[in-house]
Chain A
Amino acid sequence: MIEALGYFIEILKGALITARHFIVNMVFHILKVIGIKTKRKGAVTIQYPEQRKELARRHRSLHRLTKREDGKPRCVSCMLCVTVCPSECITVEASEDPDPEIQKVPAKFIIDLSRCCFCGFCVEACPEDAIRMDTNIIEASEYARGDLYYDLSKLLK
């Protein structure tokens, strides 16, 4: 009987905790409505499309291919990123470059974003610093599935 009473008290305590949350948050909401600025806010929500959280400096967002001074891609088609990619979403096709210093350039460089898991291994593997994931674009969405094959023209932007 005494044990049951103990449970009952704990149940009441639980209700008091939620009631406290309600009242405290409500006070801050009301203060905001009547225009009093407070340090604490009533809700921790970030209203996403209008407000954005600042991305971390090392955040892995949409890929981009870096360029040389003359605008050509830095990629030399060494296929390291293709090899390391765990979801096998990168396709590279090499072609010859007239410059003997460079030797190879990618004729095709396709990232299938519908398979990419954003692990960042391609960035780590690249010896030429040709691919980076620092565009801060996090809404890589398209209306058709085929549009998720990002090729050179999209990645070099």
Chain B
Amino acid sequence: MDFWIVLIKIVCALVWFLVLTLYLTWAERKESAVIQDRIGANRASIFGLRMIGLFQPFADAIKMVFKEDFIPPFANRFLHTLAPFLSFFFVAITVCAMPFGDTLNIGGRSISLQVLDLNAGLLFVLAMLSLGIYGIILSGWASRNRFTLLGGIRGAAQLISYEVALGLSLIGIVMVYPSLRLQDIVFFQGQNLFGWLPRWGVLLQPLGFVVFFLAALAETKRVPFDLPEGESEIIGFFTEYGGLKWGMFMMTDFMEIIIVSCLATTLFFGGWQVPWMGSDGFHFPWGGAWLLPHGLVVLFQLLAFNIKVVFFCWLQILIRWTYPRYRYDQLMDLGWKVLIPLSLLNIIGTGLVMGFLK
């Protein structure tokens, strides 16, 4: 029975992840269109039913599946094929550490709404996210094309300058909520500050959040920081890919957006916590309570998590369609000279405040 529960959880998490990824491609096109006073992709139809372009991701998928699977004759066949799968795998596996909600009590069992409850969940997610760079370096290397290699190297350089700031900015969070288990971090955020303000990470670690968000944006390799890829003019690491393999790189980008949104939600915006909602319903700080059955509480938690994640996805797409690309040296400057000192400052400041409050 336990086996089946785990299996169902894995399937549910993956389906959630892939469907959200698929529709994020649609959302990106539509959101950019609305920002630029356009309409966006709305022609894909099934029997004349257009549904504001909701079938567009399927049309894209069909197109990519039926394209030629081309491997350049000068490329290394094995590594060239392996690279997109590596980059896809390392992102797809991170979703299993994300807490979607508290426990669900059903039929005398309590099921944790998280695929894999790791003690070091935060470290696991960070490790897997940074392993994803191997797919990029490998694709640049195995294509045996100088420009893709340069793209891969740019990706690696960018990753090194941001991974440090990303890790350091999260140390503040680990200090405030003394745990690396993502579920614990979310539990701690359920308490209230001064009795009425939700104890969310962004209120305790505002500087940490800014540094984390900037570094995480660089991690997704999208527009203000899209040096490895540079789809409009400089040539990126997946130049020699086409069809479904290219699609996997593109999907990896969108999956990284979702993972970054999940992380931002879990660490800084209370995860699945709804303000003032406990395990039995709302307890308002001005007195009074609104008790809810268990199923509704779990539903609210899932909804809260999803709404927060979708909001951050929206924010990242907005950022992608607002800013021009950073130059290479500006990017390095931002990483090494601004974000890392700021994150160190954040650690010292957090330590001092915690020491005084003790």
Chain A residues within CB distance 8 Å of chain B: 4, 11, 14-15, 17-19, 21-22, 25-26, 29, 42-45, 47
On chain A, the residues within 8 Å of B37 by CB distance are 21, 25, 42-45
- Ordered nearest first, which 6 A-B pairs have the shortest CB separation? A45-B39, A18-B322, A43-B39, A25-B34, A18-B35, A22-B35
Q: Among the listed B31, B39, B319, B338, which residue makes an inter-chain contact with A15, where contact means beta carbons less than 8 Å apart? A: B319
Q: How far is the CB of A35 from chain B (nearest CB, A)?
A: 16
Q: Among the listed A4, A17, A43, which residue makes an inter-chain contact with B33, where contact means beta carbons less than 8 Å apart? A: A43
On chain A, the residues within 8 Å of B322 by CB distance are 14-15, 17-18
Q: Among the listed A19, A26, A44, which residue makes an inter-chain contact with B38, where contact means beta carbons less than 8 Å apart? A: A44
> Would you call B34 and A14 a contact (CB within 8 A)?
no
Those of B107-122 within 8 Å (CB) of chain A = none
On chain B, the residues within 8 Å of A29 by CB distance are 34
Q: How far is the CB of A4 from chain B (nearest CB, A)?
A: 8
List 28 interface pairs A-B (beta carbons < 8 Å), by A numbering. A4-B338, A11-B323, A14-B322, A14-B323, A15-B319, A15-B322, A18-B35, A18-B318, A18-B321, A19-B318, A21-B34, A21-B35, A21-B36, A21-B37, A22-B34, A22-B318, A25-B37, A42-B34, A42-B37, A43-B33, A43-B34, A43-B37, A43-B39, A44-B38, A45-B37, A45-B38, A45-B39, A47-B39
On chain A, the residues within 8 Å of B319 by CB distance are 15
Give the docked Cα–Cα distance between A139 and B176 (Å): 66
With A21-B35, A43-B33 given, name 13 new contacts (CB 8 A).
A4-B338, A15-B319, A15-B323, A17-B322, A21-B36, A29-B34, A43-B34, A43-B37, A43-B38, A43-B39, A45-B37, A45-B39, A47-B39
Those of B50-82 within 8 Å (CB) of chain A = none
Q: Which A residue sits closest to B43, measured CB to CB?
A: A47
How would residues 293 to 326 of chain B score, 1 for a CB under 8 Å from any chain A CB and 0 otherwise?
0000000000000000000000000110111000
Q: How far is the CB of B348 from chain A (nearest CB, A)?
A: 18
How would residues 159 to 179 of chain B score, 1 for a CB under 8 Å from any chain A CB and 0 otherwise?
000000000000000000000
Q: Which A residue sits closest to B314, measured CB to CB?
A: A22
Give the docked Cα–Cα distance between A44 and B36 (Å): 9
Q: How far is the CB of A8 from chain B (nearest CB, A)?
A: 10
Given contacts A15-B318, A44-B38, A45-B39, contact A22 B323 (CB under 8 A): no
Give the docked Cα–Cα distance between A97 and B282 (Å): 97
On chain A, the residues within 8 Å of B34 by CB distance are 21-22, 25-26, 29, 42-43
Give the docked Cα–Cα distance between A68 and B34 (Å): 53
On chain A, the residues within 8 Å of B323 by CB distance are 11, 14-15
Q: How far is the CB of B206 from chain A (nearest CB, A)?
A: 14
On chain B, the residues within 8 Å of A14 by CB distance are 322-323
Q: How far is the CB of B323 from chain A (nearest CB, A)?
A: 7
